Chains A and B, each alone.
Chain A
Amino acid sequence: MSLDALLVVAAALFGAGVYGALSQQSFVMIMMGLELMLNATILAVVAFWWGSTGGNPEGQLLAIVVMAVMAIEAAIGFALVTNVYRVRKADITEKLRRLRG
Chain B
Amino acid sequence: MRDLLARLAVGAPVPVFPVAGGGTREALARLRLRPDVHLVDTPRHAIVLLVLGEFPPGEIAGLAAVHDMIPSPRVTVHWTPGGPRDDVPRSMRVDGDDTALVAALSRVAGEVLSGTRASEPPIRPDVDPVEWRGIGPYGHGGKGMTGGTPFGRPLAERAPDRDGLELDQLSVTVGPWLGALPPGLELGIKLQGDVIQEVEIHPPAVTLERPDGWVRALEVPVPVAELELDRARHHLVWLGEALRVHDLPALGQRTLRLAQGLTPGDRGEVERVLAEVRRTGIYRLALRGLGAVDPSQVGGLGPVARAAGLEDDARLDDPTYQELGFRPVSHRGADAADRWRQRIAEITQSLDLAGRAGDRTAFGDGVVEGPRGRITSDGILPGAVTVDLLPELLTGLEWGDAVAVVWSLDVDPTGVASRSSPEGAAA
Contacts and interface: CB of A to CB of B under 8 A. Distances in A.
Classify A-B as touching or not with yes or no (CB < 8 A). Answer: yes
A21 to B, nearest CB: 22
B166 interface: yes
A89 B166 CA distance: 7
Interface in B22-65: none
Contacts of A82: 165
B134 interface: no
Interface of B: 158, 163-166
Interface residues of A, number: 4
Contacts of B166: 89
Nearest to A82: B165
A78 interface: no
7 contacts: A82-B165, A85-B165, A86-B163, A86-B164, A86-B165, A89-B158, A89-B166
A86 B165 CA distance: 5
A77 B243 CA distance: 43
Interface string A16-32: 00000000000000000
Interface string A60-101: 000000000000000000000010011001000000000000
A74 B310 CA distance: 53
A85 B164 CA distance: 9
A85 to B, nearest CB: 6
B169 to A, nearest CB: 14
Contacts of A89: 158, 166
A82 to B, nearest CB: 7
A93 B255 CA distance: 59
Contacts of B163: 86
Nearest to B160: A89
A89 B158 CA distance: 10
A16 to B, nearest CB: 25
A89 B163 CA distance: 13
A16 B158 CA distance: 33
A82 B161 CA distance: 14
